[in-house]
């Protein structure tokens, strides 16, 4: 018995004694005769004066009874004494009630919803209900119907969450079943759809949600999700659906049928005999949908270096200049990510007193066979599109700069560092790097 329970029982006893004393006092003050239920016999004065003692005695008995009740409640188990419920819901034909997991509004490994009436393999619903069985012989609790595993990782198993790596492909799965009783009229689920929600880009972690709906089910739609975790909370990955990979699997004729990529937009129809939205409660109509997605990490490097024009000096991140010099600048781009980057743009920002030399631009990449070729101007104005690059692909871009009047530039002593002198831009990301000029005037 806890200290709080002792205090509560003492308080109840004290309150009862106070009530008894009050009733006793009022009784002794009462001047009128008190009759029995027959109205034919008076209470004796002696009994009336001793009634306060009797009432107090009753209050004391009541207080001890309350104490005993509270003690018994306190000793019959609580938080740490509760027996754990086994994960399996069927033991020797006895259905074990599994506590409801709490649905959530944010993505977590156990997310599901909404709350709904559940059934067992021994007692099914008279109405259409999707994924409501607690003891599915294969899957257990059907409300947890979303899982993920690695396709490129040996011995990877399905689970509610998984740490993912850039460049690898993963498989998501969403199970479905109509848990209406086969003997009930109207047991066919109509207009049954599935749609998938998955972000294109995420930071730290991401979730994919499967939503299954039916026009005559109660509730009309159910959902569940799985979570993919990144190496670091700061990592930003792209999740790319592998087109054409969504497939339905069941014991019916639709088994192995590819599903439209519309599964990520408005959803697609499910079915048993055909993809017509009609899903019966028969075991062969139960099934699952799989799809593949690739984890990419868009990333690139950009480097800018310079040297005096016409020399064999090494390119460096700083260069000495004086009025009338021509400096050759080289910008290097390299795709360090796991996905192709398209429409890569380069641009430079020249300080005052420095001028781009027209028709001096050259580019070297895979298309040119690794050799420099002349290309159009624009690097110092609107920018230049150097094309698309696979992972590890790169490009080199060089051009000339005339130092007209370094005195116009904001040198600090002999130094001028131009932040973001060169920038490279891809879809969703821009990086800039500095170049330092050293005045030797």
Is residue 153 within 8 A of residue 167, CB to CB? The reply is no
107 pLDDT more than 60: no
Is residue 235 within 8 A of residue 206, CB to CB? The reply is no
Dist. CA 260–CA 262, nearest whole Å: 5
Give the model's confidence band at 92: pLDDT under 50 very low, under 70 low, under 90 confident, else very high.
very low
Helix, strand or coil, per DSSP, at residue 347: strand
* Span 300-439 CATH architecture: Sandwich (2.60)
Q: Which of 302, 325, 317, 312 lies closest to 415, judged by CA?
A: 317
Radius of gyration of the CA atoms of the chain, in A = 39
412 pLDDT more than 60: yes
Is residue 400 within 8 A of residue 327, CB to CB? The reply is yes
What pLDDT digit, counting tens, does each position of 216-230 carry?
Answer: 999 999 999 999 999
**Residues whose CB falls within 8 Å of the CB of residue 107, separated by 6 or more in sequence, listed in order:** 205, 206, 207, 209, 225, 227
Q: Which of 80, 63, 90 lies closest to 8, judged by CA?
A: 63
Dist. CA 406–CA 335, nearest whole Å: 34
Q: Which of 320, 325, 329 lies closest to 416, judged by CA?
A: 320
What pLDDT digit, counting tens, does each position of 328-364 carry?
Answer: 999 999 999 888 899 999 999 999 999 999 999 999 9
Phi, psi at 171, each rounded to 5°: -120, 125
Dist. CA 305–CA 436, nearest whole Å: 9
Average pLDDT over residues 318-331: 96
Q: Which of 338, 350, 326 lies closest to 299, judged by CA?
A: 338
């Amino acid at each position: 018995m806890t200290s709080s329970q002792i205090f509560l029982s003492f308080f109840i006893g004290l309150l009862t004694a106070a009530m008894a004393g009050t009733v006793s006092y009022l009784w002794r003050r009462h001047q009128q005769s008190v009759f029995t239920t027959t109205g034919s016999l008076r209470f004796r004065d002696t009994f009336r004066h001793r009634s306060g003692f009797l009432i107090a005695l009753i209050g004391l008995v009541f207080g001890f009874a309350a104490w005993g009740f509270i003690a018994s409640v306190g000793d019959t188990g609580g938080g740490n004494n509760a027996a754990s419920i086994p994960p399996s819901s069927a033991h020797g034909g006895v259905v074990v009630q599994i506590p409801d997991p709490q649905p959530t509004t944010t993505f977590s490994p156990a997310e599901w919803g909404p709350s709904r009436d559940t059934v067992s393999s021994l007692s099914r619903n008279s109405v259409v209900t999707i994924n409501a069985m607690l003891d599915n012989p294969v899957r257990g609790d059907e409300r947890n119907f979303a899982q993920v595993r690695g396709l490129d990782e040996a011995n990877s198993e399905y689970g509610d969450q998984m740490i993912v790596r850039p460049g690898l492909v993963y498989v998501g799965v969403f199970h479905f079943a109509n848990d209406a009783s086969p003997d009930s009229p109207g047991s066919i689920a109509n207009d049954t759809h599935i749609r998938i929600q998955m972000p294109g880009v995420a930071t730290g972690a991401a979730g994919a949600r499967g939503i299954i709906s039916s026009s005559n089910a109660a509730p009309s739609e159910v959902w569940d999700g799985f979570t993919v975790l990144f190496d670091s909370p700061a990592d930003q990955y792209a999740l790319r659906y592998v087109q054409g990979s969504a497939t339905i699997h069941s014991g019916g004729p639709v088994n192995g049928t590819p599903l439209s990529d519309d599964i990520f937009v408005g959803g697609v129809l499910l079915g048993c005999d055909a993809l017509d939205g009609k899903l019966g409660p028969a075991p062969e109509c139960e099934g699952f949908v799989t799809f593949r997605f690739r984890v990419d990490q868009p990333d690139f490097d950009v480097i800018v270096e310079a040297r005096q024009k016409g020399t064999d000096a090494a390119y460096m991140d700083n260069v000495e200049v004086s009025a009338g010099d021509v400096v050759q600048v080289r910008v290097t781009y390299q795709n360090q990510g796991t996905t192709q980057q398209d429409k890569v743009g380069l641009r430079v920002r020249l300080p005052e007193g420095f001028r781009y030399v027209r028709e001096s631009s050259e580019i070297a990449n895979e298309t040119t066979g690794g050799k420099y070729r002349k290309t159009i101007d624009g690097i110092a104005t609107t920018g230049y599109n150097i094309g698309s690059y696979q992972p590890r692909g790169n490009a080199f871009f060089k051009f000339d700069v005339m130092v007209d009047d370094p005195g116009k530039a904001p040198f600090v002593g002999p130094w001028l560092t131009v932040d973001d002198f060169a920038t490279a831009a891809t879809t969703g990301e821009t990086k800039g790097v500095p170049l330092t000029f050293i005045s030797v005037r």
